[in-house]
Amino acid sequence: MCHISPAKTLFAVIVLSASLVGTQQMSQADPSKYPQFAQQSLPEDITPAFITVDELVEVIRAGAKPLIIDVRTDEEYKEAHILSAQSAPLAEFKEYLKSIPRDRPVVLY
């Protein structure tokens, strides 16, 4: 089982599964679509933990209630998103960051 400690890890990034977004193929991130974000790095005090969808399901089944945030554009979010995921497009994410709780796991996709 994968355990995400909110005290040590603020962000967890998941790999999307075709079953969650309703598509038949796994899409690849295309940094050319978001050049303003492609070269950014995380602050030193944030260590991301990469988890799979299956690991996320196990975390939720174990009773954790992670905040799931979709950082894609509004158009992409409207097309398909994980049920209960909040939309916070990368272009607006800096402002949204202030409202993210630090007492629970946060999953970005």
Quote the domain boundaries for residue 109: 1-15+45-109
Model pTM score:
0.63
Is position 95 within any domain? yes
| 3, pLDDT greater than 60 | no
Q: How confident is the model at residue 67 (pLDDT cuts 50, 70, 90)?
A: very high
Is position 72 within any domain? yes
- Average of per-residue pLDDT values in the chain: 75
Q: What are phi and psi of 87, to 5 degrees?
A: -95, 125
**52 vs 7 pLDDT, higher one:** 52
Confidence at residue 85, expressed as pLDDT on a 0 to 100 scale: 93
Those residues whose C-beta lies under 8 Å from the C-beta of residue 78, and which sit 6 or more positions away, are none
Confidence at residue 32, expressed as pLDDT on a 0 to 100 scale: 73
Is position 31 within any domain? no
